[in-house]
Structure formats: C-alpha cells, structure tokens
C-alpha cells in the first residue's frame, strides 16, 4: 500500500511538472483587413540599393537608398507625410534621413537621373487624386554595417487603417485599465543579402517579402 501511494505521488508530481512546462499558446500577430477599410494610397517601391558616397571631411561612406512612386486613388485629396524605417538582423535601426548629409541625398537624386524624384522633405504635402498627380520620392539611410544577412524597410503613411490592441506583457495603467498601443498599416519590404554588401555596384538587394502588416 505504501509503495502504491508513493508511486501515485510520484506520478502526480510528474504530471504537475509536465503541465507547468507546457508553453502558453502563441498569440498570432494581428493582420490588416483583407479589403482596405480606410483610405489607402497605391505605392510602388523601387529596388533597395547600396551606394558609396564621398562625404566632406569624412571620406567615403555607404548608404542604403530606395525610390518609390505613390498615387492617390482614394477618392479624396490627402496630406502625404510618409515615414520609412530600415532595420537589419544585426540590430541596426534608422529612420529615413537619419545621419544622412544633405549633399548625400543630392548626389543620389542626381544618380537616379529622374527629374520627378523628390527628397523626403520636398515630397511632403497635399497629394491630389489621380495618376497625373503621382509623386516619386527617394529615401536614404546610413549603411554603417555591411556584414548583414537581412535588411527590412517599413513604410508607413500610405494607409489610414489602424488597430488598437492591449500592449502585451504591460502592467495596468494608473487607472487600472490595460495599456493599449495603436498599430498602423505598414508596408514591409524584406531583403536578403550575401552577408557582405561591398562590391554590389548598382545591383539591387534581393527582395523576398513585399506585404502589408500592422506595426
């Protein structure tokens, strides 16, 4: 009888330990609506490239750059002020234009040889409807680390869709209510790289993902 009780106790301990080790079910990240529920602009992102530009008093430096075209077919004129963020698998994170000298942007606009391309400041403003009012822009980021395997660009300001969700793992606020965060519909562009970005010349990085997310 004693042996039986000990065996049952041991079995119970194993079951409890097993139940404690089972991970909580993963919560799927929210996705944007399959059909646009708010205004949305048509964006055509160009390829992402790396350029080396001579910077005054610094010397040659590398930069990521990308052109894009945007058309307003939403049915109303809209104020257009896009933001672009670039991240790498090495932990780099830059907003468009961050640590980019004006002379570098001017040099890259000259390099793309498109008279319609505007820099990140000039393109801001009311975007009228129709293909005839389309705008083309250039975005630039520092390429401080050339030994990376993945580069991702997040482009926002092209959709009015948002989603309010409870902030994961955040303590309740002073009012006792859960903290919330607003996610915005964002275009995600993922690029794979050969692990060494030098020597690419004018070749674009391989784009493996081009889709809308909530971020």
Do residues 82 and 160 lie in contact, with contact meaning Cβ atoms separated by under 8 Å? no
Average pLDDT over the chain, rounded to an integer: 87
Higher-pLDDT residue of 167 and 152 is 152
Which pLDDT belongs to residue 27?
58
pTM as predicted = 0.82
DSSP, residue by residue, 19-32: HHHSPPPPPPPP--
- Distance, in Å, from the CA atom of 7 to the CA atom of 16, rounded to the nearest integer, reads 14
Cβ 84 vs Cβ 153: under 8 Å: yes
Q: Tokens for 43?
A: 């964006």
Side-chain-facing half-sphere of 184: CA atoms under 13 Å:
14
pLDDT above 50: residue 137: yes
Coil, helix or strand for 132?
helix
pLDDT beyond 80 at 194: no
Is the confidence at residue 193, as pLDDT, over 50?
A: yes
Of 133 and 193, the structure prediction assigns the larger pLDDT to 133
9-61 pLDDT per residue, tens: 444 444 444 444 455 455 577 899 988 899 999 999 999 999 999 999 899 99
What is the pLDDT at residue 23?
52
């Amino acid at each position: 009888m004693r042996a039986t009780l000990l065996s049952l106790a041991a079995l119970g301990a194993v079951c409890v330990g097993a139940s404690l080790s089972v991970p909580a079910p993963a919560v799927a990240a929210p996705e944007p609506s399959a059909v646009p529920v708010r205004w949305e602009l048509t964006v055509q992102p160009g390829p992402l490239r790396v350029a080396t530009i001579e910077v005054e008093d610094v010397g040659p430096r590398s930069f990521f750059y990308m052109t894009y075209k945007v058309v307003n077919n939403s049915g109303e004129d809209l104020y257009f002020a896009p933001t672009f963020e670039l991240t790498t698998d090495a932990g780099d994170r830059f907003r468009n234009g961050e640590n980019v000298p004006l002379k570098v942007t001017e040099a890259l606009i000259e390099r793309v040889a498109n008279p319609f391309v505007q820099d990140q400041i000039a393109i801001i403003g009311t975007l009228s409807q129709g293909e005839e009012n389309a705008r083309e822009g250039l975005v630039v980021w520092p390429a401080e680390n050339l030994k990376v395997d993945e580069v991702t660009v997040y482009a926002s300001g092209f959709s009015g869709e948002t989603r309010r969700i409870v902030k994961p793992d955040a303590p309740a606020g002073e009012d006792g209510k859960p903290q919330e965060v607003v996610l915005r519909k964002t275009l995600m562009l993922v690029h794979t790289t050969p692990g060494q970005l030098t020597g690419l010349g004018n070749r674009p990085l391989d784009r493996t993902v081009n889709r809308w997310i909530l971020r």
